[in-house]
Chain A
Amino acid sequence: MQACISVLIENSRGGCGIINPDKEIINMRYRLSWGMAAWLLHRLTGICLTLYIFVHLYILSHLKTPEKYEELMGLMHLPIAKVFEILLLAGVLAHGLNGMRLTIMESGPNSTWQKPLLWAAAAAGLVLLVFGAIPFVTGGGQ
């Protein structure tokens, strides 16, 4: 009976653990690896971008006259719209580049490609985000 008893505890490093009958603490804390962070980011950006499709198509369906169109374009110069556009660009880059990395990995290369591809995608994403955000900030990209 005693062998079946385990106690969920809070351990000294802030994570959860179980204490077994020999009084050893087995650490169950999740460690956030880069791969897990990429998975989480892919999932979050995917959900946000899918919800954005609804907003994007709804707005576009209401821009059938030049007046309505120009009215909305006027709003795009607001600082909040710029921030939103840069966040959108970041989301698209993160999801798109990580998605391409996953597609490449699933098409069969050696697993040693995993980390270099992750870093390559992250580096490409950062560079493209910096250069891609310039027209939004300066007003050139609307």
Chain B
Amino acid sequence: MRASLQWYLHRITGVILFFGLVTHMYIMHYCLPDAFSYEAVAERLSDPRWIAFNFLFLISIVYHGMTGLWGVLVEYLMDEAALKVLKMAFYALSLGLILTGVYILTV
């Protein structure tokens, strides 16, 4: 992926996460006293709009977090071969996180 596109996506997902986290924290911790109950969470997750919100949140957080971590790593690790292996590991971990998130949201 071109570095400039990666940079833009990092910024865009960062802005999505900022507003997404405000919503997530407000709903889960500050809005209603029983927003944390099993029934309330299950009810929200039966609403397609909440599933869409959480899915966008999940994609954004995995992309933003993993590219951020990768950016730190390439600053300190100079070994090209090790970076190639680690890049594959990052892709695998990202896929694992997204699949886990989809499992939480849908199963």
When A57-B101, A57-B104, A66-B38 are in contact, do A47 and B72 touch as well, CB less than 8 Å?
Answer: yes
Q: With A and B bound together, what is the CA distance between A66 and B72 in angstroms?
A: 39
A interface: dominant SS: helix
Contact B29 A141, beta carbon cutoff 8 Å: yes
Tier of interface size on chain A: 20 to 34
Contacts of A135 in B (CB 8 A): 29-30
Are A61 and B100 touching (Cβ within 8 A)? yes
Whether the pair B30, A141 counts as a contact (CB closer than 8 A) is yes
Q: How far is the CA of A15 from the CA of B13 in the complex (A)?
A: 40
CA distance A22 to B65 in the complex (A): 50
Interface class of chain B by DSSP: helix
Q: CB-CB < 8 A to A70: which residues of B? A: 38
Asked if B33 is an interface residue, CB under 8 A from chain A, the answer is yes
**A36 and B48 alpha carbons, distance in the complex (Å):** 43
Given contacts A61-B100, A96-B18, 15 further A-B contacts (CB under 8 A): A47-B72, A50-B68, A53-B61, A53-B62, A53-B65, A54-B97, A57-B104, A60-B104, A96-B21, A100-B14, A106-B11, A132-B29, A132-B30, A136-B29, A142-B29
Q: Which residues of B contact A (CB under 8 A)?
A: 11, 14-15, 17-18, 21, 25, 28-30, 33, 36, 38, 41, 61-62, 65-66, 68-69, 72, 97, 100-101, 103-104, 107
**Interface residue ranges, A against B (CB under 8 Å):** 43, 46-47, 49-50, 53-54, 57-58, 60-61, 64, 66, 69-70, 73, 89, 92, 96, 99-100, 103, 106, 132, 135-136, 140-142
